[in-house]
Amino acid sequence: MPRPLYLLQGLAQDTSDWDRVLAHLDESTPVTLIDVLTLGFDGTAFSLRRTVADLDRLITDHEAVVCGLSYGAVIAAAHAIDHQAGRHRYVLAGLQVKTGRGPGTFLRTAYPLVHQFVQISSGRRLHVWRVRSQLRMYAGLDLRDDLHRIQSPVMLVNGKLDRVHYKPVADALERIPDARAVNLRLAGHESNRSAPGQFAEALIDFAA
């Protein structure tokens, strides 16, 4: 029986964006969809550490595959850093390990615009302060010095058309001790949307 899957979508997605990937998986595969937009909040306060703690409470299987895309990949990577027992496997798709100064400034100052984009792309109505809190965290992101602490097997997934994330994937591949990389042909950044069959194939192989 394959390992249970925990799937974390991107910031501008809904959990239903995994549906096309799930269509390629065996129906017997245990799957839990984690809504990343609800993690990390205590009232109006938000932090990545609290996000990781919330995720950990939701993972009820002893040996699972934790798969995140984009923002979800950042959360999954942070969970792998903090949980070094090595019992889970991690799939990090479209991972960003450090937000550059230019994109960081944009995320901090243009959050109303980004908030509208996230709502349109995800098809959801979201509180602007929640999105702003998550963007602030993402704007200051730098996981590089901690990636070597990951003791679990990691598969880094990237779309061949997503050239922006070539370098972050290369950085992560160099720093994570037990990591491999998979490039999905004709796939963009949101590879669960653009290449669901290839994404599922990679998941099946890694979860076996």
DSSP assignments along the chain, one per residue: -PPPEEEE--TT--GGGGHHHHTTS-TTS-EEEE-GGGSSEETTEE-HHHHHHHHHHH---SS-EEEEETHHHHHHHHHHHH-TT--SEEEEES--SB--HHHHHHHHH-HHHHHHHHHHHHT----HHHHHHHHHHHHT-B-GGGGGG--S-EEEEEETT-GGGHHHHHHHHHHSTTEEEEEETT--SSHHHH-HHHHHHHHHHHH-
Q: From first to last of the 208 residues of the chain, give the pLDDT tens digit.
A: 679 999 999 999 999 999 999 999 999 999 999 999 999 999 888 999 999 999 999 999 989 999 999 999 999 999 999 987 778 999 999 999 999 999 999 999 999 999 999 999 999 999 999 999 999 999 999 999 999 999 999 999 999 999 999 999 999 999 999 999 999 998 999 999 999 999 999 999 998 8
Global confidence as pTM: 0.96
Q: Which residues pair with 181 in a beta bridge?
A: 156
- The pLDDT assigned to 83 comes to 87
Cα–Cα distance for residue pair 92/74, rounded to 1 Å: 8
Query: Contact, 167 vs 190, CB < 8 A?
Result: no
pLDDT given for residue 1 in this prediction = 65
Per-residue model confidence (pLDDT) at position 2: 79
Q: Are strands 89-93 and 65-69 parallel, antiparallel or unpaired?
A: parallel
Residues linked to residue 106 through DSSP beta bridges, in sequence order? none
